[in-house]
A and B are shown apart, each in its own frame.
Chain A
Amino acid sequence: MTESTAPVLSAEDLTFAYADGDPIVAEWTTTFEAGTTTAITGPSGCGKSTLLYLLGLMLQPSAGHVMLRGTPVDALRDAERARLRAHTFGFVFQDAALDATRTVLDNVIETALYRRQSRHEAIQTAYELLERFGVEIREAHRPGQISGGQAQRIALCRAMLADPPVFLADEPTGNLDPATSETVIQALRDRAADGACVVVATHDPAVVEACDRRIRLGAAS
């Protein structure tokens, strides 16, 4: 496959099992195109989060490959994979995973350090994102002083900071009211419209409804 026609993200015979467990993901092959949104659904514990971690280069597959624009990237050197996580992937964790000791603003711009991006520039973008997602709290607040829904939106701002070409979100609307969910769904669609490849693990019918494509994982297999 040549660079230009290769899908931005793909999985090839992807297999993964946690230490001495049955495979959570087994010989899984699929492609994710740029400019599309994909919803990954399935019962709790079926491996949605695990799949996103594999695609996001945070877990090493037991077998098979994760490819970026046709090139296997799962076996790259650790520093290379870290660089891809910082530059190419935007990731929203299911539990937000914020740094409780730092301000909201510091949390949003955290990855600027890993990309060696200008802090000033990152702060500008961070303010825009926080406003867009209606996080109406002082940027100096620390995550201990905010709600779960706000935390999730802050995590979303963090993931969107660098306009990553691949956007992986794990239950991004899990703690949100329908109106705020709608803002998030719109943001995901906007990312795709801007050319990003968006993959969302979700239980939220509204999110599933809004996605271009659905992948349903079987019961814990």
Chain B
Amino acid sequence: MSAMFVLGREAVASARGQVVTSVLTVAMVAGMCVAVLMTTGRTAAAEDAALAEIDAAGTRSIVVRADADARLTANVIDRLQAVTEIDTAIGFGPIVDARNAQVPDGPKVPLRNGYGTLDGRSLVVPDLPDRALASTEAIQTLGFRDGLGALRTDTGHELVVSGKLEVPAYATFLEPLVVIPSSKPDAPSGTRPTDPLTVLIVLADSPRHVAPVSDTVKSLLEAADETKITMETSQELATIRTAIQGELGSYGRGTVLVILAVSAALVAVNLLTLVSIRRKDFGRRRALGATRSLIVALLLTQTALLAGIGALVGVAGALTALSVTGSPLPGPSFVIAVVIAAVLTALLGALLPAISAARKDPLHELRVP
């Protein structure tokens, strides 16, 4: 029979003989897990939400604006799509003003040729002449019912709005957005790859890649006239993102450290009380031949087992509470980290009492009435 098993069994028996201390230890560790999960687990979820929002707002995007005669052409999109750090690239041609064909003096919307893929929707729709896609905002501006209707450009061309566009956060600056999908030979501005672009949006696959991707974009724009091009990266947003991550992260770390320190202290006080109340028992064990290391090992094993139970109870309770209140649940790795931290914290708290118990003089303690 392994020494670990023997020690474990003795630890279980002695924990059962010390009901109050055992229950308190389980409760303290459970409380620590609940506290960590309910505060920091929430903070972690809140941080994730905040970061997702920032990301949606375009931390990953690079926006290039060009004058119509800057020689920025649609074929650059194909080359950008081939770069691995780039999620997607979308281009828009020069603006032609358009109005509801039924309301000649109604509000105008900017009509653009679109190239590439916008939020998963391909802007290449071959063989559908004189069709346009419009965003919800554009449809409202134009006053179309059911999202369908005819458009007339100021140059006299007529198109049918036949589909709706979802505009992702990184492209909302283009609203109200009405796009003529490409590959339509008789479209107002033409559809060849040499078509001019006035707006190019490049999405890096992660905020970290914004800087290298913008360098790549710059190098691909060499053919164009630099003086007629401006480039906006989301570097500022990326900086804010990092700041928020750090801010929330350090707030979370601070909270966790306080909770862990308080818990370690509670476990220590609890066990010191036990060691003081039961000093005769530790003295007896020593007198009968237990080594100091055995006493330490016994108390630490006992604490680890109780802390393990407490951590499971606490995690189960906290996750139940979080899901009942509809809060976002922290991920499994976070939960496992909390359990490990809880057990290690309890062991840290138990170390001093265990050493104190092991140092009880066998006889002195036995003779104390």
Give chain A's interface residues, CB within 8 Å of chain B. 53, 56, 58-59, 78-79, 82-87, 89, 91, 93, 97, 99, 101-102, 106, 110-111, 113-116, 118-119, 158
Q: Out of A59, A86, A87, A116, name the residue touching B363 (CB < 8 Å).
A: A59
A114 and B363 contact, Cβ closer than 8 Å, known pairs A99-B17, A99-B281, A102-B13: no
A86 to B285, CA, bound (A): 10
> What is the interface of chain B mostly: helix, strand, loop, or mixed?
helix
Please state if B363 and A78 are interface contacts (CB–CB under 8 Å): no
Q: Which residues of B contact A110 (CB under 8 A)?
A: 285, 288
B287 touches A91 (CB 8 A): yes
Q: Are A58 and B362 in contact (CB under 8 A)?
A: yes
Interface size on B, residues (CB 8 A): 25
Q: How far is the CA of A141 from the CA of B47 in the complex (A)?
A: 56
Q: How far is the CA of A101 from the CA of B281 in the complex (A)?
A: 10
Q: Provide 11 A-B residue pairs closer than 8 Å at the C-beta atoms, listed in order of the A residue.
A: A59-B363, A78-B291, A79-B292, A82-B291, A93-B366, A97-B284, A101-B281, A111-B288, A114-B291, A114-B294, A116-B3
CB pair A53–B363 under 8 Å, yes or no, is yes
Distance in angstroms from B23 CB to nearest chain A CB is 14
CB neighbours (8 Å) of B9 from chain A are 119
In the complex, B18 has a CB within 8 A of chain A: yes
CB neighbours (8 Å) of B280 from chain A are: 97
Where chain A touches its partner, the secondary structure class is helix
Contact indicator A83/B291 (Cβ below 8 Å) = yes
CB pair A113–B292 under 8 Å, yes or no, is no
Q: Does B324 contact A (CB under 8 A)?
A: no
* Contact A79–B291 (Cβ < 8 Å): yes
Judge whether B1 and A118 touch: CB under 8 Å. Answer: yes
Q: Which positions in B face A, CB cutoff 8 Å?
A: 1, 3, 6, 9-10, 13-14, 17-18, 280-281, 284-294, 362-363, 366
Instruction: Assess the A82–B363 pair: CB atoms within 8 A.
Output: no
Assess whether A114 is in contact with B362, with CB atoms less than 8 Å apart: no
Residue of B at shortest CB range from A59?
A: B363
From known contacts A99-B284, A113-B6, infer whether A106 and B13 are also in contact, taking CB-CB under 8 Å.
yes
Contacts A89-B289, A110-B288 known; list 6 others, CB within 8 Å. A79-B293, A82-B289, A97-B280, A99-B284, A116-B6, A158-B288
Chain A min CB distance to B328 (Å): 45
**A contact residues around B289 at 8 Å (CB):** 82-87, 89, 111, 114-115
Q: What are the residues of chain B within 8 A of A58 when measuring CB–CB?
A: 287, 362-363
Distance from B2 Cβ to chain A, minimum over Cβ atoms (Å):
11
Closest chain A residue to B10, Cβ basis:
A113
Q: Write the nearest CB–CB distance from B345 to chain A, whole angstroms.
A: 26
| CB contact under 8 A between A101 and B1, given known A58-B363, A87-B289 | no
A85 to B1, CA, bound (A): 23
Residues in B with CB closer than 8 Å to A158 are: 288
Q: Give Cα A146 to B290, complex, Å.
A: 26
Partner of B288, one of A78, A101, A114: A114
Q: For the complex of A and B, list the 4 residue pairs with the smallest distance between their C-beta atoms, beginning with the closest.
A: A86-B289, A101-B17, A85-B289, A114-B289
| Pairwise interchain contact A114-B290, C-beta atoms closer than 8 A | yes
Which B-chain residue is minimally distant from A80 (CB atoms)?
A: B291
**B285 cross-chain contacts in A, Cβ below 8 A:** 110, 114
B contact residues around A101 at 8 Å (CB): 14, 17-18, 281
| Cα distance A107–B10 in the bound complex, in angstroms | 12
Give Cα distance in the complex from A101 to B18, angstroms: 7
Partner of A82, one of B6, B14, B281, B286: B286
**Minimal beta-carbon separation of A2 from chain B (angstroms):** 28
Closest residue of chain B to A79, judged by CB?
A: B291
A78 CA to B293 CA, complexed, in Å: 11
Q: How far is the CA of A85 from the CA of B292 in the complex (A)?
A: 13
- Which among A101, A102, A118, A119 has the highest number of chain B CB atoms within 10 Å? A101
Complex Cα distance A118/B287, Å?
A: 20
Bound Cα distance from A84 to B286, whole angstroms: 11
Contact check, A78 vs B292: say whether CB atoms are below 8 A apart: yes
B85: min CB distance to chain A, Å:
62
> Could you tell me the distance between the alpha carbons of A84 and B294 in the complex, rounded to whole angstroms?
15
Q: Measured between C-beta atoms, what is the minimum distance from B16 to chain A in Å?
A: 8
The interface centre, meaning the residue of B1, B285, B287, B292 with most chain A CB atoms within 10 A of its CB, is B287
Q: Shortest CB–CB separation between residue A121 and chain B, in angstroms?
A: 11
Residues of A within 8 A of B281 (CB): 99, 101
Complex contact A86–B293 (CB within 8 A): no
Find chain B residues with CB under 8 A from A86 CB: 288-290
Instruction: For A111, list chain B residues within 8 Å (CB).
Output: 288-289
Q: Which residue of A lies closest to B281 (CB)?
A: A99
Question: How far does the alpha carbon of A83 sit from the alpha carbon of B363 in the complex, in Å?
Answer: 16
- B10: shortest Cβ distance to chain A, in Å? 6
> Across the interface, which residues of A come within 8 angstroms of B14, CB to CB?
101-102
Smallest CB gap from A56: residue in B: B287
CA distance A58 to B361 in the complex (A): 8
Name the distance in Å between A97's Cβ and chain B's nearest Cβ: 5
* Max chain B C-beta neighbours (<10 A), residue from A82, A89, A111, A118: A82
Q: Check A113 against B290 for contact (C-beta < 8 Å).
A: yes
CA distance A58 to B286 in the complex (A): 9
